[in-house]
Structure formats: structure tokens, C-alpha cells
């Protein structure tokens, strides 16, 4: 059953929502516009707030389904089983079979995984709460999604250790941290070059 669970988790994560929205709404390949990423941030920049929000929600749901629904349907209710399916779902998003194994950065899907785990494992709820607050605080301070994501991902395993989570969950936090940093290598280069774009917010003055 675990093999079937991994396959299903991967396929759920692999659904390229950003690409689908780009084709359906504008007849474009979202990878050829904006930052070239499949994620919600690039969809927001290219297609607007509505599609960007929907892609964000759907990518989060992919992670939630992979750890909160699929394992229960298959009788894989142990923490180890959920962690394995969580990694499968994020890998599916990052390296989707539907687009020649080129996908997004996995932030929304990883957050969905954490939300799904939070539903099933009460002890992880403080971790999700604090990591989300860290992401929001960094975003409000910088308005740069990549910085917020990298900082939050780095704090994830640390927060898990500080809150005495199960070893397998700490391992998941380490894996997610590594994946986020690796997937954001182009963003890190742009950050050092001062070229990483900021997200415009209504209560901030627009950048000149």
C-alpha cells in the first residue's frame, strides 16, 4: 500500500495548476512569462490576483490531500507513512511528470502538507503557527516571497526541534528546508544582485 500511496501522492502533487491556468485563461505557457515559475506568485504577476489566489489555494490543497486524505483511504495512518507521502507530493510539484519533470518551488504544497499534518497530529500545530508567522513577518518586512520562504523553511526544522517533535517530523523539516533552498538558487542569485522583484501591496508605496 505504501508504494501506491507514494504514487498517488506524487501524482496529486504533480498536477501543474499554474500551467493549467495559464493555458485555460490566457492561452500561454506560464513558464515563458514573468519569472518562468509555475507557482502562485508568478501567476499573480502574469494573470492577476484572482488566478494567483486560486493557484495558491489549489497548490495548498494538493499537499493537504496527500497527507490527510490519501493515507486514510489506503490505511496508511502512521506518522512515517504521512511523511513519506508528504515528500512524494512536494517532489511531484517540484518535478512534475506532466511537464518533463520541471515544476515549481513547492512552497504552497509544502505549506499544505503542514496543514494536513496539523489536522492529524495535534502536537505539530504550534510549529505550523510559528512558521507561518515567520513567513508573514518576513514578507511584510521585505515584500519578497523568496526571502520569506527561505527564512521560514530554515526555521521549520529548528522550530520542530524546539517543540520536541517526533524525529521523523524533524527529518521532514530538514528535507523541506533543503528542497526550498535548492529550488530557490536562481532567486538567491538575484537577491545578491539586487534584482529580485518585490510584491506590490495596497498599503505600501509602489517601488519606483
**205 pLDDT above the threshold of 80:** no
Residue 8, in any domain of the structure? yes
How many domains does the chain contain in total? 1
Domain that holds residue 29: 2-192
Q: Which residues contact 205 (CB under 8 A, 6 or more apart)?
A: none
Q: Is residue 203 domain-resident?
A: no
Question: Exposed e or buried b for every residue in 65-101, given b needs 16+ CB within 10 A?
Answer: bbbbbbbeebebeebebbbbbbbbbbbbbbbbeebee
Non-local (6+) Cβ contacts of 192 within 8 A are none
Looking at the domain assignment, is residue 201 inside a domain? no
Integer-rounded Cα radius of gyration of the chain:
17
Whether the per-residue pLDDT at 207 is higher than 70: the answer is: no
Q: 66: phi > 0 → left, psi -120 to 50 → alpha, else beta; which?
A: alpha
pLDDT digits (tens, 9 = 90+) for 32-86: 998 888 889 899 989 999 999 999 999 999 999 999 999 999 999 999 999 999 9
In a domain, 208, yes or no: no
8-state DSSP, 33: S
Give yes or no for a contact between 115 and 64, defined as CB atoms under 8 angstroms apart.
yes
User: What does DSSP assign to residue 36?
Assistant: S
Q: Please determine, for residue 201, whether its predicted confidence score (pLDDT) is greater than 80.
A: no
Answer yes or no: is 113 within a domain: yes
Domain membership of residue 111 (yes or no) is yes
Instruction: Please write the tens of the pLDDT for every residue from 105-133.
Output: 999 999 999 999 999 999 999 999 999 99
In angstroms, what CA-CA distances link 203 with 43, 45, 47? 21, 18, 21
pLDDT tier, 153 (very low <50, low <70, confident <90, very high otherwise) = very high
- Per the model's pLDDT, the better-predicted residue between 181 and 204 turns out to be 181
Cα gap 82→67, rounded to integer Å: 5
Inter-CA distances, 130 with 106, 110, 166, Å: 19, 15, 17
pLDDT score for 46: 93
Closest CA to 85 of 115, 65, 111: 65
Q: In the prediction, which pLDDT does 147 show? A: 95
Judge whether 154 lies within some domain: yes
Is 90 within the bounds of a domain?
Answer: yes
Cα–Cα distances in Å, from 41 out to 49, 58, 95?
Answer: 9, 13, 18
Average per-residue pLDDT in the chain? 93
- The residue written with cell numbers 510559528 in the block is 130
* Residues sharing a CB contact under 8 Å with residue 15, sequence separation 6 or more, in sequence order: 58, 62, 92, 96, 98
Residue 134 confidence class, pLDDT cut points 50, 70, 90: very high
Amino acid at each position: 500500500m505504501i508504494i501506491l500511496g507514494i504514487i498517488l501522492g506524487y501524482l496529486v502533487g504533480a498536477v501543474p495548476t499554474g500551467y493549467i491556468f495559464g493555458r485555460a485563461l490566457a492561452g500561454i505557457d506560464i513558464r515563458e512569462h514573468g519569472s518562468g515559475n509555475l507557482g502562485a506568485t508568478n501567476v499573480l504577476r502574469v494573470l492577476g490576483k484572482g488566478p494567483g489566489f486560486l493557484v495558491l489555494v489549489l497548490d495548498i490543497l494538493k499537499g493537504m490531500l496527500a497527507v490527510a486524505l490519501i493515507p486514510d483511504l489506503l490505511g496508511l495512518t502512521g506518522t512515517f507513512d504521512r511523511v513519506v507521502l508528504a515528500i512524494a507530493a512536494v517532489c511531484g510539484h517540484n518535478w512534475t511528470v506532466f511537464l518533463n519533470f520541471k515544476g515549481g518551488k513547492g512552497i504552497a504544497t509544502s505549506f499544505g502538507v503542514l496543514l494536513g499534518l496539523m489536522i492529524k497530529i495535534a502536537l505539530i500545530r504550534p510549529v505550523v503557527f510559528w512558521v507561518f508567522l515567520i513567513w508573514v513577518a518576513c514578507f511584510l518586512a521585505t515584500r519578497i516571497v523568496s526571502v520569506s520562504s527561505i527564512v521560514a523553511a530554515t526555521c521549520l526544522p529548528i522550530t520542530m526541534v524546539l517543540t520536541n517533535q517526533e524525529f521523523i517530523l524533524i527529518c521532514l523539516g530538514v528535507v523541506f528546508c533543503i528542497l526550498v533552498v535548492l529550488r530557490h538558487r536562481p532567486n538567491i542569485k538575484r537577491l545578491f544582485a539586487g534584482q529580485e522583484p518585490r510584491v506590490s501591496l495596497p498599503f505600501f508605496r509602489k517601488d519606483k
